[in-house]
Chain A
Amino acid sequence: MVTEYTTIREIAGPLILLDRVDHATFEELVEVELPGGELRRGKVLEIDRDRVLIQLFEGTRGVDVAKTKVRFLGRGLELAVSPDILGRIFNGLGLPIDDGPRIIPEKRLDINGNPINPYARIYPKEFIQTGVSAIDGLNTLVRGQKLPIFSGFGLPHSELAAQIARQATVLGKGEAFAIVFAAMGITFEEANYFIRDFQETGAMERVVLFINLANDPTIERIATPRSALTAAEYLAFERGMHVLVIMTDMTNYCEALREVSVARKEIPGRRGYPGYLYTDLATIYERAGLLKGKKPGEVLEGSITQIPVLSMPDDDKTHPIPDLTGYITEGQIILDRSLHRKGIYPPINVLPSLSRLRDKGIGAGRTREDHAQIANQLFASYARSKEVEELAVVLGEAALTDTDKAFKAFGEAFERNFVQQNVHENRPIEQTLGLGWDLLTKIPRTEIKRIKDEFVERYLPKVEAESAK
């Protein structure tokens, strides 16, 4: 028998404070019945003797002090999972919102999950070819990585995320894969862009969507990525699928978290975000990776690769959201407004972008023996070209030395030929590396310092090398 309480004492923002409660537990799921009969859900944030603080996922509009009833359900927020969730659309709490049939659950999983034991992990090393040169060549994605896209308003992060979802493959393998898509506070149009793309490419039946749009309840956003990752963990580690999780936009998630924190009158950290934002984000981002198999040395079939998308307020990388994200994720892909203005797609600024797992995912037997060294050379040369560009702005082109001019030409070609590509262009890794070598013919041979001689001999195009001298 579930006890009903009508003892609401206070309502503030998304929170209600309940009095005279006999028994409640931390993080317990509650059901709130409004006077009109509408049902909403919430969870317990704090218990102090007989007073309980509850956060309502669907907001407190219409909740009153006198008649609203609250029931404690004796469990946490759970997601019903079964293989049938593929191809379906859910809200942030994991309830179906398409017109499909009810999910008959194989099991119910707590959406908070449990942390992965670091000892149970396998270090990700398997190269994923996204077909995007700026990623594959320089900031390589590997299976089991969490690699966010740092973007800004009006930049084509959705196009890039969709392109990666469309093109990502592990070379020479055809395994079961799935995409889990979590939308938090984005517009209908943005969400629809992804859905249409999934439909057009026929991927829809491999996709699970968790949609919380801009006009959906804000606090539900706190549950959305957790529901999505619970589905991903189920598909990956219990069904053996390779799951790509796209979460957009993490900034909206963090703002929902801030809203709750402010309503609780907590001491704020930077820019009003709660002090535990790092820990909270970590419990989301760390739900990625590969696990050990049954026998020693074996990998459990299935993996979770995360591509969270976040928009940097004012394009500021030191804003707490991108800053804390960067400290947790294994690198970042940064989109740049000035490249976008030049008409370059994808506008990836490779210099501050990074893939921490790159070095073990590439090289002989994975991509190609020269990959790491050519990538480092391209980075160093492009950084140099940027310096030269600055110099040219101050002093004028005429003041540049011949070497400087060569680097400037290199930088321009790098952006136009290497970074830039069509939104439907899927470049194999060989082609990406070849493009890189072509570019190196534009700089003097003596400036190629990051590559061993034997690779230069083998890969640097010969004819152009002569003419560059």
Chain B
Amino acid sequence: MLRFIGRRLVTLVPTLLAVLTLVFVLVRVVPGNPALILLGDQATPEAIARFYRETGLDQPIWHQYLSFLGQIARGDLGRSMINDRPVTSAIAEVLPYTLELSIAGVVVGVLLGVPLGVVAARSNGGWVDWLVRIVTLGGLSFPAFVSAIMMLLVFGLWLGWFPIISGGKPWSDPGGRLMSLALPAINLGLVMMAYVARVTRGGMLNTLPSDFIRTARAKGVPMRRIVWKHALRNVLLAVVTFTGLYFSVLIGNSVLTEIVFNRPGLGKLVVGALDRRDYTLLQGLVVTYAVLVVVVNTLTDLLYGLVDPRVKTG
């Protein structure tokens, strides 16, 4: 197992390097002079020169590239172009909120999606199957901001069950924190639920006709146990893969969810950076998102090895 983890971690390095290179290139091919954008059209040549010197943009490109990589390796994402705050601390401050929301969303999605998929496969073609179909169609059709707005209106405003502003309640108030997390997490979870339910249903339908299922039935194992233990164990592999794969969709949706529920997080930071044209902050955020996705993909692979021991030898 350790060797498997080690091998997987080594492959992380070139992926991360490629991602960072892309970010570096992207930020530099932007049309328009960053100095003029930031300092305004009226900027004096001296001011522009100083700006170049301070941001290191007057150095040769390979020098910029190496110092960019070096900085990131040291965990330094530069300083905000607007308020000179270290980007790392701005991100670190809100990252827990986004992580908490994303994890809660995955948990909601898997806990609802797997059972839905199983009962749908059991009723294959029956009314339960159709019901699940309609539910998953809804889950896939709601853009995250639309479902968020509707939930906010119905459960927050009209019914008043949840707080409207799910601001950063501290963990010293666990009830309030969970209440403010509930609606955003459910909002993220609904899309995940739809994906997971469909994957589970498809996997179940493929697994149930297998020989080992027939053997188990012949041995007299109760159907309930066969479905939830023998068959589901095989399907979980696909569920893990797709959950990992759709994590990047979930991250995208978290941006919208955070905006609608006015939650602190990376999403709100992105919008703020866009509004103020804070390119260093934006660059730091893109790196953070990409690293997040790469890390989750790696975790998915590791989990894969845990669920199915055959993978490790591969």
**A and B interact:** no
The interface of chain B, by Cβ under 8 A from chain A, is none
- State the A residues within 8 Å of B (CB): none
